Amino acid sequence: MHIALFGGSGRTGLPLIEQALAAGHRVTALVRTPSKIANQNPNLTLIQGDVKDAAAVSKTVQGADVVISVLGQVKGQATDVMGLAGRNIVAAMKQHGVRRVITLTGAGVRDPKDKPKPIDRIMGFMLKTFAKDVLNDAVAHVEAFKQSDLDWTVVRGPMLTEEPMTGQYKVGMIGEDLGIRVSRADIADLMLKLAKDGGWSRQMPVIG
């Protein structure tokens, strides 16, 4: 499988690259700073650039079988970058005939199928109050895919940790007993599985 990856030099992207290459996949990753990725595997291609650059995004997607995005908001960056990234990725996928995409966002982005408990409602209120711009940008990112005709899956993550992969995670919707934290390595594992098996198509599962 040839994966076009966005956010590969981040804390979730690095274990995702390691796992993808270990499984024998090819990875083409768009990164602003290639030196952050030390892996020299011949199946890894790094393209230096930015997701705000539609041409760079298009170059990354060209020839891929599937797109995976683990982009996240970076402190100090523009408050519309995630929405723009989503729109650029969708446009590039349509240009090159790529259908499948799995993208990562926070559990604060809600889905009509969610059944939030009181603690979920409190957390949602806090996000809307104290991180409104970040949340709105994440919603715009998700909407870019939901409004397309692509085969998308949005993986929503709770508190992310740096612990090793366990494979012992649950996947469902907000309001189910999924826990409040998960390792980035387990997130990477789930996203690679979804890229391969097509599960949760056009849905927004939560991992925990």
**Is residue 142 within 8 Å of residue 154, measured between CB atoms?**
yes
For β-strands 206-207 and 171-172, DSSP reports them as antiparallel
Average pLDDT, the chain: 92
| pLDDT computed for residue 72 by the predictor | 86
| pLDDT computed for residue 80 by the predictor | 87
Mean pLDDT of 154-167: 94
Q: With a threshold of 0.75, does the pTM exceed it?
A: yes
β-sheet with 66-69: strand ranges across:
44-48, 26-31, 2-6, 66-69, 100-106, 151-157, 206-207, 171-172
Q: Which of 46-55, 106-115, 127-136, 149-158 has the lowest mean pLDDT?
A: 127-136
- Indicate whether 6 pLDDT > 90: yes
In the chain, the domains with their CATH numbers are 2-207 (3.40.50.720)
pLDDT confidence of 180, banded at 50, 70, 90?
Answer: confident
Distance of CA 170 to the CA centre of its chain: 17
| pLDDT computed for residue 52 by the predictor | 95
Q: Which residues, at least 6 apart from 199, have a Cβ–Cβ distance to it below 8 Å?
A: 153, 193
**Residue 29 β-bridge partners:** 5, 46
Mean pLDDT of 133-160: 94
Dump pLDDT digits (tens) for 28-84.
999 999 999 999 999 999 999 999 999 999 999 999 999 999 998 776 676 789 999
Mean pLDDT of 151-166: 95
